[in-house]
């Protein structure tokens, strides 16, 4: 299991569908497109239909993004109005509740759910994730985020965000607490459920964790019995120095952005090097790049589809998303300003990367209009538009040059984008031996699907907290023990 090498010798790719529990994830305004039904995001059938579609087609996972506050920087501060018409990541429902229903109607699809370590307490989150790992029979992954919106901080009792790197220091201790709860609080053979003996759990099978650290004080024990994976499979997507260090230590599938395969190669090498420094086998980490695919029978039809989508784009929503991601409010800037020369280093670097990669735009001014167009069909992610051959060639080039293990595919319309990928792209990828023909093991857990093992691998830092069957370990006393 894990990385399957087909007879052609090519590495098979992982494909995730990237979604959010909201009308306008990465395509602001497109909710009103005739094909789109994301305004039905509040209904279970919207989600169970999508899950069944992806499961049947052989997708590896559905990755559900989440934020804990609105995109209120544009025309702000604290202004949600620009997001309202387009549903640009507003409103956003909680993703975790979708998973039990979707797992009940699917067999193999994995559900990656985002939850923030900055605003949720570890004891409570450990319980919620264990519950869903039980109910999905191990098909849940957790996308660990430290969150990046001031609006989330303000609504969770803080006047401003905790400084960026400190959020990762907190996250590191948070994970230690969770490993102690998930891996070390119940012995592997603690649960007997023996009717004859009248013993549900062995009296010596559960212990407190007594964690006392800089940020958390959690005595334990964990409130849930061991779930199939114990620690749910760990997704992460940090790009900064602190985020990369955290991901290289804890992450099992790392999500990266990137406009070119060459640039992404540097990120991939960096993550694998950090993992190595942490004593991990770098191949135990899957690296997945976000990309937006518009595919149709021919290049011309795919380009026409993109143009048609753009007719539904919402400028205000796109600029609101841009403001949330960058912290920069473009409302006071002139319509003809060329943001390749922006005074904001963040805006300048993003726009210059786009300008270097979108064919034919490197010598053109990158105005607000062009930014809106870029964001409206897939957010910040790289874009590929074309026939099955064009798109498959491009994905193959990405894998070869960047060394990524797969793609996180955003949608423009839903239903629509994933159906097109299934109809046009998957047959081409399968014909090239790049995408799995069949499921290697029915009902595998998330970790088995991604890296071929059910429990944390022994080289993962969480493994040192495992309480194995038959082992007699004294109570954890303090953080240092």
Ligand X SMILES: Cc1cc2nc3c(=O)[nH]c(=O)nc-3n(C[C@H](O)[C@H](O)[C@H](O)COP(=O)(O)O)c2cc1C
Residue 346 CB, nearest approach to ligand X (Å): 11
Measured from the Cβ of residue 441, the count of other Cβ atoms closer than 10 Å reads 11
Identity of the residue, 246 or 476, whose beta carbon is nearer to ligand X in the bound complex: 246
Identity of the residue, 125 or 224, whose beta carbon is nearer to ligand X in the bound complex: 125
140 within 8 A of 111, measured Cβ to Cβ: yes
Residue 327 CB, nearest approach to ligand X (Å): 12
Residue 386 CB, nearest approach to ligand X (Å): 22
Residue 65 CB, nearest approach to ligand X (Å): 3
SS3 93: coil
Identity of the residue, 92 or 190, whose beta carbon is nearer to ligand X in the bound complex: 92
Residue 71 CB, nearest approach to ligand X (Å): 11
Identity of the residue, 216 or 325, whose beta carbon is nearer to ligand X in the bound complex: 325
CA 392 to each of CA 17, 395, 397: distance values in angstroms, whole numbers, following the listed order: 17, 5, 8
| Burial (Cβ within 10 Å: 0-12, 13-18, ≥19) of residue 209 | buried
Residue 288 CB, nearest approach to ligand X (Å): 8
Query: What residues line the site for ligand X (CB under 6 A)?
Result: 65-67, 114, 143, 145-148, 237-240, 243, 255, 257, 290, 408
Residue 15 CB, nearest approach to ligand X (Å): 14
Residue 222 CB, nearest approach to ligand X (Å): 25
260 within 8 A of 357, measured Cβ to Cβ: yes
Identity of the residue, 69 or 462, whose beta carbon is nearer to ligand X in the bound complex: 69
Largest pairwise CA distance in the chain: 79
Identity of the residue, 97 or 148, whose beta carbon is nearer to ligand X in the bound complex: 148
State the Cα–Cα distance between residues 257 and 238, nearest whole angstrom: 10
Identity of the residue, 242 or 372, whose beta carbon is nearer to ligand X in the bound complex: 242
Identity of the residue, 65 or 181, whose beta carbon is nearer to ligand X in the bound complex: 65
Residue 70 CB, nearest approach to ligand X (Å): 13
State the Cα–Cα distance between residues 73 and 368, nearest whole angstrom: 16
Residue 360 CB, nearest approach to ligand X (Å): 26
Identity of the residue, 410 or 413, whose beta carbon is nearer to ligand X in the bound complex: 410
Closest Cα partner for 238 from 337, 172, 318?
A: 172
Identity of the residue, 209 or 291, whose beta carbon is nearer to ligand X in the bound complex: 291
Identity of the residue, 86 or 245, whose beta carbon is nearer to ligand X in the bound complex: 245
CA 2 to each of CA 11, 235, 237, 397, 408: distance values in angstroms, whole numbers, following the listed order: 11, 16, 21, 22, 17
Reported as type and span, the H/E element at residue 133 is: helix 122-135
Question: Could you identify the residue written with the tokens 């306008």?
Answer: 24
Buried b (16+ CB within 10 A) or exposed e, 221-252: bbebbbbbbbbbbbbbbbbeebbbbbbbbbbb
CA 75 to each of CA 65, 154, 315, 326: distance values in angstroms, whole numbers, following the listed order: 24, 18, 13, 14
Residue 348 CB, nearest approach to ligand X (Å): 17
Reported as type and span, the H/E element at residue 450 is: helix 446-451
30 is written with which tokens? 């497109």
CA 304 to each of CA 20, 27, 70, 397: distance values in angstroms, whole numbers, following the listed order: 26, 17, 32, 24
State the Cα–Cα distance between residues 309 and 256, nearest whole angstrom: 25
Identity of the residue, 67 or 264, whose beta carbon is nearer to ligand X in the bound complex: 67
Question: Could you identify the residue written with the tokens 């909201």?
Answer: 22
95 within 8 A of 329, measured Cβ to Cβ: no
Measured from the Cβ of residue 418, the count of other Cβ atoms closer than 10 Å reads 22
Closest Cα partner for 447 from 8, 43, 48, 60?
A: 60
Residue 104 CB, nearest approach to ligand X (Å): 24
Which residue's CB atom is positioned nearest to ligand X? 243
129 is written with which tokens? 């994730």
């Amino acid at each position: 299991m894990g990385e399957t090498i087909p007879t052609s010798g090519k590495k098979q790719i992982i494909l995730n569908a990237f979604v959010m529990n909201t009308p306008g994830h990465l395509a602001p305004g497109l909710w009103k497109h005739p094909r789109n039904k994301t305004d039905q995001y509040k209904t279970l059938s919207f989600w169970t239909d999508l899950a069944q579609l992806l499961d049947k087609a052989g997708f590896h996972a559905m990755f559900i993004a989440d934020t804990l506050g609105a995109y209120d920087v544009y025309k702000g501060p604290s202004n949600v109005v620009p997001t309202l018409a387009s549903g640009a990541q507003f409103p956003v429902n909680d993703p975790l509740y979708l998973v039990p229903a979707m797992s009940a109607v699917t067999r193999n699809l994995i559900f990656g759910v985002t939850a923030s370590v900055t605003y949720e307490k570890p004891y409570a989150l450990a319980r919620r994730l264990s519950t869903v790992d039980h109910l999905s029979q191990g098909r849940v992954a957790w996308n660990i985020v430290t969150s990046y919106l001031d609006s989330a901080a303000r609504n969770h009792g803080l006047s401003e965000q905790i400084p960026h790197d400190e959020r990762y220091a907190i996250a590191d201790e948070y994970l230690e607490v969770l490993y102690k709860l998930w891996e070390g609080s119940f012995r592997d053979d603690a649960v007997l459920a023996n009717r004859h003996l009248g013993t549900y759990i062995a009296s010596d099978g559960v212990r407190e964790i007594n964690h006392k650290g800089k940020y958390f004080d959690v005595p334990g024990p964990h409130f849930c019995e061991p779930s199939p994976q114990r620690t749910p499979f760990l997704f992460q997507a940090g790009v900064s120095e602190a985020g990369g260090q955290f991901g290289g230590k804890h992450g099992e599938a790392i999500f990266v952005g990137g406009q070119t395969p060459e640039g992404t190669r540097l990120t991939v090498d960096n993550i694998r090097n950090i993992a190595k420094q942490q004593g991990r086998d770098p191949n135990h980490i899957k690296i997945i790049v976000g990309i937006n695919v518009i595919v149709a029978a021919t290049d011309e039809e795919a380009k026409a589809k993109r143009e048609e989508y753009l007719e539904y784009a919402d400028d205000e929503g796109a600029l609101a998303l841009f403001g949330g991601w960058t912290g920069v409010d473009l409302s006071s800037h002139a319509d003809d300003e060329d943001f390749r020369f922006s005074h904001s280093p963040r805006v300048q670097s993003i726009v210059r990367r786009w300008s270097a990669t979108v064919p034919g735009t490197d010598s053109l001014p990158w105005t607000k209009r062009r930014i809106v167009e870029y964001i409206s069909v897939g957010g910040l992610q790289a874009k590929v538009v074309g026939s099955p051959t064009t798109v498959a060639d491009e994905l193959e080039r990405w894998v070869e040059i960047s060394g990524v293990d797969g793609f996180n595919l955003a949608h423009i319309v839903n239903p629509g984008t994933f159906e097109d990928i299934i109809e046009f792209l998957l047959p081409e990828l399968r014909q090239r031996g790049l995408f799995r023909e069949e499921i290697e093991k029915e009902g595998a857990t998330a970790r088995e699907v991604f890296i071929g093992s059910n429990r944390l691998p022994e080289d993962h830092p969480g493994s040192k907290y495992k309480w194995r069957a038959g082992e007699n370990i004294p109570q954890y006393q303090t953080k240092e023990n």
